[in-house]
Amino acid sequence: MNMYLHELKSLRKSTIIWVCAMIAIALMYLSLYPAIYRDGAHFKDMLAGYPASIRAILGVTVDSVTSLLGFYAMILAFVVLCGGIQAMNLGMSILSKETRERTADFLLVKPVSRAAVVTAKILAALTMFLITDLIYYAVASAIAFMVRQSSYSGGLFFMINFTLLFIQFIFFAIGAVVSVFFDRLRSVLPVSLGTVFGCYIIGALIAAGKDDWARFISPFRYFDYSYIVQNSRYETPYLITGAVIVVVSIVTCYFVYVRKDIHAVS
């Protein structure tokens, strides 16, 4: 419990920064929605002039872009990108920071098992994701309610936002499993940024094509917001794939961390 609370305290500042960044993105774009709704015909004509591949990369569906959910689905991609960076960075740092900061000997001489250390750190990270997403969802819901021009489904709005948590879990798990194999990285930020942006770019290129199998490559393509709005559900194959990635990565973290040699102060 002490480790869990300690990790929560250490993650508090970064969590606040990420929450504020996500809220700022939502506020900036949603504040434009009333003007776009009023000039919807011209906005649709402008988007229709873009090549279909560009619209796919941007996540734009011309027919529904002037509805609140359609417009929000387009801008949520940028929020999810922030969430992915937050999660990957946290995943890569939370199990390896003692090695980088030369405090591993202090932690591991405590009368707790290594499995308990991993559990406390993972639970702390997941708690922070939940706090991040709950605060963001509450504020985004309030903003959406204020700028709405017609009624919209609160259930679908929740489903769209819930994908943020899924994506964070996936990137956190990937980052955590990478960290147990490469725990001597001087800085995790370049690796986490490169991985998340690489997946985002790959996802954008995949969106421009028609191959559904290629979507398995990038977690950013596991959730098609247009599909969620139209069908009120997630696509099962991609949901299962994301769950498998998370479970396999976390199990690997436990397996490797409890057996590896962890270098202390040298």
Tokens for 122, please give them: 């993972």
**107/225 Cα distance (integer angstroms):** 43
- In the predicted structure, residue 111 carries a pLDDT above the cut 80: no
Collect all residues with Cβ–Cβ distance below 8 Å to 91 and sequence separation of at least 6: 125, 171, 172, 173, 174, 175, 176, 178, 179, 192
Choice among 114-118, 150-154, 239-243 with the minimum mean pLDDT: 114-118
Q: What is the mean pLDDT of the chain?
A: 85
| Each residue's pLDDT tens digit, 37-72 | 888 788 778 777 777 766 776 667 777 788 898 889
Least confident of 47-51, 53-57, 101-105, 147-151: 101-105
pLDDT of the residue at 42: 82
What is Dmax (Cα atoms) for the chain?
Answer: 67
Termini Cα distance of the chain: 29
**pLDDT top residue among 10 and 130:** 130
Q: What is the mean pLDDT of residues 231-253?
A: 94
Domain boundaries, the chain: 2-257
> How far is the C-alpha of 7 from the C-alpha of 187, rounded, in Å?
19
The proportion of the chain whose per-residue pLDDT surpasses 70, expressed as a percent, equals 87
Please check whether residue 204 is in contact with residue 121, taking contact to mean a CB–CB distance below 8 angstroms.
no
If you average pLDDT over residues 181-192, what whole number do you get?
Answer: 78
pLDDT digits (tens, 9 = 90+) for 193-228: 889 989 988 888 887 666 678 888 999 989 988 888
Contacts of 180-187 with C-beta under 8 Å, sequence gap 24+, read: 180/95, 180/96, 180/252, 180/253, 180/256, 180/257, 180/260, 181/256, 182/96, 183/95, 183/96, 183/99, 183/100, 183/262, 184/99, 184/100, 184/263, 185/92, 185/96, 185/100, 186/100
Q: What is the pLDDT of residue 127?
A: 94
- Token pair listed for 220: 């950013």
Mean pLDDT of 106-125: 76
245 φ, ψ to 5°?
Answer: -60, -45
Whether 266 shows a pLDDT value over 50: the answer reads no
The structure's pTM equals 0.89
